[in-house]
Structure 1
Amino acid sequence: MNDNNILAVVLAGGKSKRFGQDKNCVKLGSKTLLEHVLFKISNKFEEILIVSSNPLKIEEAKNTTIIPDCFNDLGPLAGVLSSMKWIKENKKSYKWIATFPSDTPFFDPIIIEEYKARIEQSKSSLYFVKSNEKRHNIFGLWSIDLMEKLEEDLVINNYRKVEEWANKVGVSTIDIKIKNYDPFFNINTKEDLDVAQTILNLDKND
């Protein structure tokens, strides 16, 4: 399989209401939350797209592009649709997008290899990662063949929750085993950031 079939998409457009400020710019150790995610995927994909209507302060990279959501305040599904539209509008050859949330810094990049394996199997047009019986609806592999259906359901049928829409169209899961802590722990509050700092310190001591 040609690795260029997948566009990496970082969904960074949340309002961070529970956190009280833009989480993307918050430091965890020496990196911001967004930088942690970019560091893990930067060498795994030919190109990375960041979808955010918030102003982001990151170092320019030749393979990274920032675009706004195509629809404001419609949640993560709008970010997914925005990335698919970007592929079409820019005549890119990607057939799939792999989505990553910007507030989950500890995930194992091994899931990218799992994504590639699923594409070769061609058994589903949508995959989400699952760990400890919990499905992580933003860690996903999406066929861009879903674009027209997604836009229809988002704009006309008022679907907003990723989980509900995925259940409607059909989704397969990729099971990941957890070792010491949940690598899909996401940071929503200042208290979560404190927990993340503890996890980061444990990682350094291992």
Structure 2
Amino acid sequence: MTEGTAKVPAVILAGGRATRMGGGDKGWRILGGKRLVDHVIARLAPQVSAIALNANGDPDRFDLGLPVLPDSIDGYAGPLAGVLAGMDWAASLGADAVVSVAADTPFFPTDLVMRLQQAAGPSGLALAASPDETGKVWQHPTFGLWPVALRHDLREALEGGLRKIVLWTDRHGAGIATFSSDPHDPFFNVNTPEDLAQSEALIGAAG
């Protein structure tokens, strides 16, 4: 952490239904001899003060030794519901903000949290972004810094039917931290068996 930044807690978003992977807990697929979620935890732990897992269903199926936070919004409300669960948990710890990462993205930057903190807008919000092969910059809204002071506003928005993350973050002037995609997009996520095979190749190339 650099001067002016402080460690914050983080929530791993694992509440998706993994339909393109045949269902189940996608973060428990094996990559390079370890589960996807183990890769995520290894990259995240040095950057944050505490980690929780956002997932629905029976929490006893997880063996990570982490708090398991279910969505507090009824129905499948998408990643924002997991962000809200993380914000409420962070508030209970006395933290000012929480960082979110996705459970299926094993190569995200090791300076993610610091860069998000540096990019935060006046509201304290920040999202990660990276360019594609054409140079177009895409936001990755499951990777963000979320001030707990906005959690009641987010809950109200979700209860009103909002599901698209950027509609809410744009409303609050989120800052953007843009990361390099050289040699590959650090936010490459594993949605399909083909993506898992591609990730194996990336790990092999790094090794």
Q: In the TM superposition, what is the alpha-carbon distance from 1:93 to its structure 2 partner?
A: 1.4
Indicate which of 40, 44, 47 corresponds to 1:41: 44
| CA shift for structure 1 position 59 | 3.5
Q: Are the aligned partners of 1:125 and 1:146 in contact in 2 as well (CA < 8 Å)? A: no
1:81-126 alpha-carbon deviations (Å, 9 max, x no partner) = 11222234x3x2100111000000011111222134346xx63421
Q: Distance in 2 between matches of 1:131 and 1:26?
A: 25
Q: Check if 1:32 corresponds to 2:35.
A: yes
Mapping for residues 1-206 of structure 1, pairs under 5 Å: 1=4, 3-4=6-7, 6-21=8-23, 22-54=25-57, 55=59, 56-60=61-65, 64-71=66-73, 72-88=75-91, 90=92, 92-118=93-119, 123-132=122-131, 133-155=137-159, 157-204=160-207
Percent identity among equivalent residues? 31
* Structure 1 spans left out of the alignment, 5+ residues: none
* Counterpart-to-counterpart distance in 2, 1:116 and 1:135: 16
Verify the 8 A CA contact 2:123 2:172 in the aligned structure 1: no
Q: Is the 8 A contact 1:33 1:104 kept in 2?
A: yes
Aligned length in residues: 195
CA–CA distance in structure 1, aligned partners of residues 105 and 193 of structure 2? 14
Query: Residue 152 of structure 2 aligns to a residue in which SS?
Result: helix
Please, what is the CA RMSD of the aligned residues?
Answer: 1.7
Other structure's SS at 1:42 match = helix
Instruction: List runs of 5+ in structure 2 lacking aligned partners.
Output: 132-136
TM-score, with structure 2 as normaliser: 0.87
Separation in 2 of the partners of 1:175 and 1:139?
11
Displacement of 1:3 in angstroms is: 2.5
Q: Cα distance, 1:164 vs. partner? A: 2.1
2: distance between equivalents of 1:12 and 1:189? 15
Alpha-carbon spacing, 1:87–1:113, altered in 2? closer, same or farther (3 Å): closer
Partner letter of residue 7 of structure 1? P
Other structure's SS at 1:14 match = coil
Task: Specify whether residues 202 and 10 from structure 1 end up closer, same or farther in structure 2 by C-alpha distance, changes over 3 A only.
Answer: same
Amino acid at match of 2:62: K
Distance 2:142 2:54 in 1: 13
> How high is the TM-score relative to the length of structure 1?
0.87
- Which whole-Å deviations, capped at 9, do the CAs of 1:13-50 have from their partners, x for residues lacking one? 00001111321110001211111101111222221111
In the alignment, the residues of structure 2 paired with residue 78 and residue 46 of structure 1 have an alpha-carbon distance, to the nearest angstrom, of: 22
